Amino acid sequence: MQDKIVITAVGDIMLGDFPMCNGFGVGSTIKKYGSKFIFEKIKDELSGDIVFGNLEAVLSDKNKNMFSINSMSLRGDPKSVEGLKYAGFNILSLANNHSLEHGYEALYDTVDLLNDNNIIPLGVGREKEIARKPAVFNIKNKKIAFLGYCLRPDKTAYRSIKNKEEILEDIKNVKENADYVILSLHWGDEFVQFPAPWQIDFAHKLIDNGVSIILGHHPHVLQGIEEYNGGIIAYSLGNFVFDMWHEDEKIGGILKIYLGEDIGYNFIKTHINNQFQPEPMKNADLPEIRKMKEEEYEESVTYLHNCHTQDYKKFFALHLFKYNKLIIPSLILNSLRFTGVV
């Protein structure tokens, strides 16, 4: 393997507290034990020339309001960057649907923090033109270009493009000066263990147009990995560090990619334990990739979201005693909004 370039990729990393875990989530655990603690059981698996993940929350105190649960949620302490460095990350995508959860100032504060700690922030920038520029690594006489995009339409999403077809324009410009083009995509539907029909079609189109590897995230669950036309498509790598509670949302993985005369990979399945630490699993089975009709897929999305809504209510009720009494009204309102009551 010495002659090969090793890329290690994981999915969603959230170093704050999820709203429904306020006071006892990832961020609270980091406050108690430090950010290195989160990665202690997985650090040895994160070796590689390039170590990538999707950072699903800002690391900033900008616009922080201690009396607002929304302001306190999905926000990591800036000191948490030490854990990311300890784990070995050197590139993190911020092109996702939570990057603007606390405004542009907090996002750009996070960008500066990562840059100051030699971690490349991918897919964002103070100008959209900068966000669409590739991050290029020169390793073993090869150029590896990373591009990152969010395809989710949420109000809190950072999107550098208006539509997904613009990605093809960027690939055309980048591939002329790169040996490998790697694409980070925040896409798909939450809690669904298989990609949408349009995702499969578009992923194939991207590979046919010069992309070597696609690293997908956002569904918060693990999806299948496909080899297609010499490239590798990881539709969703699942949660790597998060405080979601459903068992499927605790499963993620580490994709090890080996670049040489051809592209190879292996996969390490991970499980988030009760202290929010990812640990390697012995079982490396991946969900199968099912090509479904659009109508069948949408029915599956509706069913799975309804199931998650019920789990959400149960979790809230079971953990009511853990919450600070002052934030319970806000939590109830958030819960009602999440479940569609208001």
The pLDDT tens digits along the chain (342 residues) read 668 999 999 999 999 999 888 889 999 999 999 999 999 999 999 999 999 999 999 999 998 887 777 888 899 999 999 999 999 999 999 999 999 999 999 999 999 999 999 999 999 999 999 999 999 999 999 999 999 999 999 999 999 999 999 999 999 999 999 999 999 999 999 999 999 999 999 999 999 999 999 999 999 999 999 999 999 999 999 999 999 999 999 999 999 999 998 999 999 999 999 999 999 998 878 999 988 899 999 999 999 988 888 888 888 788 878 877 766 677 666 655 554 444
Q: Which fold has domain 5-292?
A: Purple Acid Phosphatase; chain A, domain 2 (3.60.21)
pLDDT given for residue 298 in this prediction: 95
Of 17, 15, 13, nearest to 73 by C-alpha is: 17
Distance CA 105, CA 51 (A): 26
Q: For the segment 167-208, what is each residue's pLDDT rounded down to a tens digit?
A: 999 999 999 999 999 999 999 999 999 999 999 999 999 999
Q: What interhelical angle do 166-175 and 197-208 show, nearest 10?
A: 30
pLDDT given for residue 335 in this prediction: 57
Phi, psi at residue 145, to the nearest 5°? -105, 125
Phi, psi at residue 24, to the nearest 5°? -145, 25
Distance CA 204, CA 207 (A): 5
Distance CA 195, CA 321 (A): 37
Structural domain boundaries of the chain? 5-292
pLDDT given for residue 309 in this prediction: 82
Of 22, 106, 96, nearest to 59 by C-alpha is: 106
Residue 145 tokens read as: 């270009």
Residue 83, sorted as left (phi over 0), alpha (psi -120 to 50) or beta, turns out to be alpha
Distance CA 323, CA 22 (A): 7
Strand 91-93 to strand 50-55: parallel, antiparallel, or no bridges (unpaired)? parallel
Distance CA 296, CA 16 (A): 35
Q: What is the DSSP string of 159-181?
A: -S-SSTTHHHHHHHHHHTT-SEE
pLDDT given for residue 341 in this prediction: 43
Q: What is the pTM of this model?
A: 0.94
Compute the C-alpha angle 148/125/212, nearest 5°.
20
Q: Which residue matches tokens 């208001």?
A: 342
Phi, psi at residue 319, to the nearest 5°? -110, 15
Q: What is the DSSP string of 180-223?
A: EEEEEEE-S-TT-SS--HHHHHHHHHHHHTT--EEEEESSSSB-
